[in-house]
Amino acid sequence: MQNMSVTADELRRFFPVWDHLAKTEQEELVNASIKRTVKDGKVLHEGADECEGLFCVLSGQLRAYVLSPEGKEITIYRLLEGDLCLFSASCIFSGSPLDISVAVEKEGCLITIPSIVYKKIMNGSSVLS
């Protein structure tokens, strides 16, 4: 998995309110975000694991799923290019992570915005709250 730098234009694709954020908020999001390539089959988030952050899909495909009591995977939804996975950062909104897993179905590239950074900006910005 290779980490790459993130640009403001890339984040703008995922946030229609981008131009209404303060310049300092935009810079903080750009500087904290991580862009990486992800391979098929890679589990990015598993169950109620620690809340990593928001996944922004630049390319490829992710699958969000839960495990049944019998241990079978039940797909909830798929994320395609241009999609934002809020469940990967559910603790931002609910206070605790949801028992949802996210895995890579098709190799691609995604941006992760760390939960702690997004929550800080969301709490201080009327635009994101």
Check residue 94 and give its pLDDT. Answer: 62
Check residue 127 and give its pLDDT. Answer: 86
Residue 129 lies in a domain: no
Check residue 53 and give its pLDDT. Answer: 86
Residue 44 lies in a domain: yes
| 45-77: pLDDT as tens digits | 887 667 788 999 999 999 999 999 999 999 999
Residue 9 lies in a domain: yes
Residue numbers of the domain that contains 25: 3-124
Residues 6+ apart with CB under 8 A from 10: 35, 56, 58, 111
Residues lower than pLDDT 70 in the chain: 1-2, 48-49, 88-98
CATH of the domain at 21: 2.60.120.10
Q: Is the pTM of this model over 0.85?
A: yes
Query: Based on C-alpha coordinates, what's the Rg of the chain?
Result: 15
Q: How many domains does the chain have?
A: 1
Q: Residue 62 burial by CB count (10 A; 0-12/13-18/19+): exposed, middle or buried?
A: buried
